[in-house]
Structure 1
Amino acid sequence: MATTIYRGMTRQELDTAYSNTGRLADFPGLMRDFRARSAAFYATHDCRRDLRYGPGARQTCDWFASGRPDAPIFVFIHGGYWQSCVKEDFAFCAAGPMARGHDVILAEYTLAPQASMTQIVAEIGRLLDHLAPRLAGRRLCLAGHSAGGHLAAMHRGHPAVASVLAISGLFDLEPISLGQLNDKLQLTHAEIAACSPQRIIAAGAPMLVAVGAGELPELVRQSDDYAQACRRAGEQVALLHVPGCDHFQVLDDLADPTGAQLTALAGLGSPET
């Protein structure tokens, strides 16, 4: 009989419980669509590309300008379980925030195993430190999807951050450390404690925790548990189950200026026009 290692699951069951791509019939086709839509967005919008915020090869960001010098800023951190994907694949997501009057910054960061979780978290902090003196009074919403949702939640207490949108995030790293996702991450016990947002809840910016209503149960549970823990701690946190969306369709909702996430974010007090 196989040994259970987490919430009654074997390692194989745990790997399946966190395999977002495993549910898709054609994940490569989905990514081709994302890239094509993103390429079209780059071609039709003003963007300063690969702006540096640090010395590392991937410590860069792309800045889409709305044309308003006082526009609020929406920073988006892509997912990929901290070990895959690039910012350029997700430029299409900027359509929604830009239609609401934001500048949009796509953040890049070093991936595992070239960087540890501690280093990856620190890189996003470095990006925010870099942006802070350049805000000129503009409000900044820090958003991220999947691994990016985790990284956004980790920095909700940064002084530059006015609001947070954590989409389909991972807020407790313990189950990640027990499965195949840890082969590249090599999470330590200290990192699980220090880099799990649910374990280090403190005062921070108002936050919307969003997750697709049709996502894997473990992803939904992670968002539900984290939002509830934040509320118990007295933090201003709203929870949204995005109707009709799986782990990737939530990005289509984000790209829609009238979508559930941006609508809920406006109600949270996010910078809006």
Structure 2
Amino acid sequence: MLFVHGGYWQTRAKEVFTIFAEGPLAHGINVALIGYTLAPDATLDDIVAEIHAGIDCLAGQLPALGAVAEGIVVSGWSAGGHLTSMALSNAHVRAGMAISGIYDLEPIRHSYLNEKLRLDEAASRRNSPMMQQGGTAKPLSLVVGSAELPLLRKQTADFAGHRARYGLPVTYEEIGGADHFSIMNQMLAPQGRITTLIRQLFDRTASS
């Protein structure tokens, strides 16, 4: 599993999130974490391209790392949830687990966050999975906390509906009582709901 950190594409680093590998690791799932150049030093197009390049690099190293070469499950939180959805099209990705993500960037483009992201309308649409016709037919699990901002809850539910309308495999779940930060405890815990969903993605996409 490859984990993509959040921070609105402009803060945080992968090292902060290493602890959350504990849940999947407890079930024998190998975990890697990926970093990326933060805005404003990189555009969102650049960041998405870096994620794809990182996946390609990791995929080539899986045998040497002792991991099965059946494809990578990508997971990410917040901005990392968005990047997870953008990574689904990579040939080396078998499924995605997006946590509290943002899937329509237009509200971001019209907020203070765009001072560093510098999105114009074309870039916003290009990088908004909810604005695309269809999508990649790989399983995607979407989760959000019931105590999160209404916009994040709406975006997650709307993106689940978007995929369902195009007949793309998707599951959607609100985790009761979880806010934008405490939701990650469900990945930290070996029996947490997100850990369970990750295990299910591996099971669903395993080679027969």
Q: Given the two structures, how large is their TM-score scaled by the length of structure 2?
A: 0.91
| Structure 2 residue runs without a partner (length 5+) | 64-68
Query: 2: CA distance between counterparts of 1:174 and 1:109?
Result: 22
| Structure 1 residue runs without a partner (length 5+) | 1-73
- 2:149 is matched with which residue? 216
Q: How does 1:1-273 map to 2 (within 5 A)?
A: 74-136=1-63, 137-200=69-132, 201-268=134-201, 269=204
Percent of aligned positions that are identical: 40
Query: 2: CA distance between counterparts of 1:191 and 1:214?
Result: 30
CA RMSD of aligned residues (A): 1.3
Secondary structure of 2:97 counterpart: strand
Query: 1: CA distance between counterparts of 2:155 and 2:4?
Result: 19
Please tell me the residue identity of whatever aligns with 1:91.
T
Asked if structure 2 preserves the Cα contact closer than 8 Å seen for 1:141 and 1:270, the reply is: no
The Cα shift of 1:101 comes to: 0.8
- 1:68 is matched with which residue? none
Structure number with greater Rg is 1
Secondary structure of 1:162 counterpart: strand
1:182-216 CA-to-partner distances (Å, cap 9, x unmatched) read 11101011111110011123223201001111111
Between Structure 1 and Structure 2, how many residues are aligned?
A: 198
Asked if structure 1 preserves the Cα contact closer than 8 Å seen for 2:59 and 2:71, the reply is: no
The Cα shift of 1:178 comes to: 0.3
Q: Which runs of 4+ in 1 moved over 6 A?
A: none
1:207-243 CA-to-partner distances (Å, cap 9, x unmatched) read 1001111111000000000011001111000001112
Query: 1: CA distance between counterparts of 2:77 and 2:108?
Result: 16
Q: Given the two structures, how large is their TM-score scaled by the length of structure 1?
A: 0.70
Asked if structure 2 preserves the Cα contact closer than 8 Å seen for 1:242 and 1:261, the reply is: no
